[in-house]
Amino acid sequence: MIIRRCSLDHDIVIHRNNKKGMTKTIQLSDGTMESLKYPDSYDYFLAVSGEIVKKSNSFEVVETAYVNKCTELHGSSQGRIDIVKHKLVNNKVVTK
């Protein structure tokens, strides 16, 4: 299940691992299709361009890796989700 996507349409996605071991075909932002195999353990994982780069049972750990990857790719990030300042629209964080 997708929890959060990059708001600038890069292929950086946080998933909740609710179907452990499942293989899913995903479409990347450039239109290509990739297979993504969910990990056999861990509750959350970060996928960048169809590759799993971080797995953890802690959402905070995966979200911090997500923020770092967004900052690395486009120089800025919305940061971690703050329910006072942000809302989710199509799994993308936007300012209220």
Tokens 């990739």 belong to: 34
CB 2 within 8 A of CB 66: no
- Select from 75, 70, 72, 61 the least CA-distant residue to 10: 70
Residue 66, φ and ψ in degrees, nearest 5? -60, -50
The structural domains of the chain, with segments of one domain joined by +, span 2-95
Return the pLDDT at 83. Answer: 67
Tokens 């799994």 belong to: 91
Structure tokens at 37: 């195999």
Tens digit of each residue's pLDDT (9 = 90 or more) over 16-67? 999 999 999 988 888 899 999 999 999 999 999 989 999 999 999 999 999 9
pTM of the predicted model over 0.85: no
Residue 7, φ and ψ in degrees, nearest 5? -70, -15
